[in-house]
Amino acid sequence: MMIGNLKIEGFAGLAPMAGVADRAFRELCREYGAAYTVSEMISSKGVTMGDRKSKELMKLNDAERPAGVQIFGSDPEIMAKSIDAVLDVNPDFIDINMGCPAPKIAGNGGGASLMKNPETAQEIVKAVSSATVLPVTVKMRSGWDSDSINALDMAVRAENAGAKAVTVHGRTRQQMYAPPVNVDIIREVKERLSIPVIGNGDITDGQSAALMFENTNCDFLLVGRGALGRPWVFQQINAYMSEGRIIPEPPVSERMRVMVKHIKMICEYKGERVGIREARKHAAWYMKGIRGGAEFRRQAGMLESIEQLEEIAFKICLENN
């Protein structure tokens, strides 16, 4: 797939996820075959005001490339102005968030609320595209609610404004993440656009990836929640799509090894105090579906150190041997 002049090799990338897809997780997913990664969403307003946290969230390592920085906001001028700071981290592309359903974002005119303001959305894409030679992509939802499924109109506007690829999450903002994905709207967007269309939603393994490709004819996939506690999902997708081979879930011992490695990476980047606090949710995801999982997840929710994590991982391996 070509995003402008950027060549992407593979079938699926890691979707941007606030509070989850940090540098450690992005690197780990690349190790397992994610074709590209995208940063956590960055406030365009925060960037232009020199916010330290926004700057930290933008940092990219070579190990996670090709990688994009995702920005959000509701003001075309501020979105364009933020690009100067974004370029300091040398991203491979820039993604515009038009899909975040969180009240804090959508309630302030950004994220999914742009689905209700197609003219503003188009101006944002135009302004950002004019501010950089890098490829600009847009991630959107199917619409704001069931009465306004307008991803097709939004996607056409995005392409006309200079976007080089569009990702469609086949749910409305109203639906959040619960109901099945609307593959029809993704297919309709693909049929209309000449730029790549990326499918997103409910992709959890090689078979579900193949179904998304088959049902929508999309060019590529983004995996979000399907990678939580399962960075090997990209390995599964690549094996199935390229060879028709099904890679089963790894044994519990391997899951625990990856979990500890992942959390050590988080602590390396953020320090153990912050890292362990953030690690609690990741540990719970890695423990999903194992014997004694409820109790181990409870213990993970009170993690205070790497040593404690390793002790829990050891107990899990014994319990699930």
132 in helix, strand or coil? coil
Q: Which of 100, 218, 267, 317 is catalytic?
A: 100
Cα–Cα dist 28/122, whole Å = 34
Cα–Cα dist 236/47, whole Å = 36
CB 4 within 8 A of CB 164: yes
The enclosing H or E element of 69 equals: strand 67-72
> How many helices and strands in the chain, by DSSP H and E?
15, 11
CB-count burial class (<10 Å; 0-12, 13-18, 19+) for 319: middle
Tokens for 48?
Answer: 């232009």
- Cβ neighbours around 76 below 10 Å, total: 20
The enclosing H or E element of 138 equals: strand 136-143
CB 310 within 8 A of CB 260: yes
100 is catalytic: yes
Nearest to 13 by CA among 67, 62, 59: 67
Active-site positions? 100
